Amino acid sequence: MHKDNGRYCYSPNDLNEFLASPFATWMSRYALDFPGQAQPDPEPLSLTTLAERSRQHEQTCLAQLRQEGREIHTLPAAMDRVEATVMAMQAGHEVIHQGWLQNDMVQDIRPEYFLGRPNFLVRTAGASALGNYGYEVWDVTLATQPSPTHMIQLCCSADLLQTVQEQRPDSTLLWLGSGERHRFRTADFIYYYLALKQAFLAYMQHFDPEVQPNPELGGDYGRWTAQAIQILEKADHLSRVANVTASQIQRLNASGITTLTSLAESTLTHVPRIDNAVFARLKEQAQLQAASVGADQPAYRILTPD
């Protein structure tokens, strides 16, 4: 996400971040609204290599489209990319490379808008607001299997495409790193995407910089992982107990056990809806972790196989 003349600009990546961790989304919004107040984790060097490999794979796919005899349109560098994409679609080019799609074509109407950058917009047969043709989204990935994040990306671009041609494409396509092309029916995924988008926008609408949420148990905090770990450690959160589950944390909380230290020091032998043996294991695990703090060698107990 970023700000454009005071308006919030969101992308499919923001939706995927929210899907993985609302805490991470809160941190990204806080860092945007209060520059310098929160520092994300340094970007791993591996991401630079991955980005370069992704660009190479996209160029390979582009060359293959040319070999298939398709007409490729590259947007003029001097033009606004959203406007240039719309003009290219209106001109009916067969394949538009690296187009930009925006769901609010009129500036200063909404406080926020979405911007998508599909790898390819490919012309298809069938009537739309453009004429007797329309476009569908083709995205490129190094992955060898489709994932939920890919589907959110595709659905967001398909949704944005509707702004121009006044209808969503019937299908989308994902071009995998293996060279396989997987086609998906838009209707199979669009409603989950729309529910996620609505939840995300509601989360942004009610954003409160004074109320930082707790990191979710098992969440993928992305570039805010170090921040999440620091918060959980400061709170002595039960999620720090190795192998504890979210449901077990809820049941421990209901019994008055709210921190790793309180679990380690608990005199209880039973917690409702947790097996006694499981509770004993969790308590011992907390005791070992508490005893390891500041020690040169972590505390441990060797388990004898049953």
Q: What is the mean pLDDT of each run of 10 residues along the chain (306 residues)?
A: 93 97 98 96 89 96 98 93 96 98 67 94 96 97 97 97 95 97 98 98 97 90 96 95 94 97 97 97 97 95 91
Residue 287 belongs to some domain of the structure = yes
pLDDT at 219: 84
Position 147 scores a pLDDT of 97
Q: Do 139 and 97 have their domain in common?
A: yes
pLDDT of residue 109: 58
Q: How far apart are the first and last CA of the chain?
A: 52
Pure H helices in 11-103 = 12-20, 22-33, 45-67, 81-91
60 lies in a domain?
A: yes
20/81 same-domain check: yes
Residues 175 and 245 reside in one and the same domain:
no
Q: Which of 190, 205, 220 is the last residue of a domain?
A: 205
Q: Examine the domain organization and report whether 178 and 271 are in the same domain.
A: no
Cα three-residue angle 58-62-63, rounded to 5 degrees: 120
Instruction: Give pLDDT, residue 193.
Output: 98
> Tell me, what CATH number does 187's domain have?
3.90.320
Domain count for the chain, please give it.
2
- In this structure, the answer to whether residues 35 and 156 fall within a common structural domain is yes
Residue 168, domain member (yes or no): yes
In the prediction, which pLDDT does 105 show? 53
| pTM (2 d.p.) | 0.90
Q: For residue 272, what are the domain limits?
A: 236-292
Could you give the angle at which helices 22-33 and 12-20 cross, rounded to 10 degrees?
130
Q: According to DSSP H, which parts of the chain are helical? A: 12-20, 22-33, 45-67, 81-91, 148-165, 190-205, 225-234, 246-254, 260-264, 276-292
Residue 305 lies in a domain: no
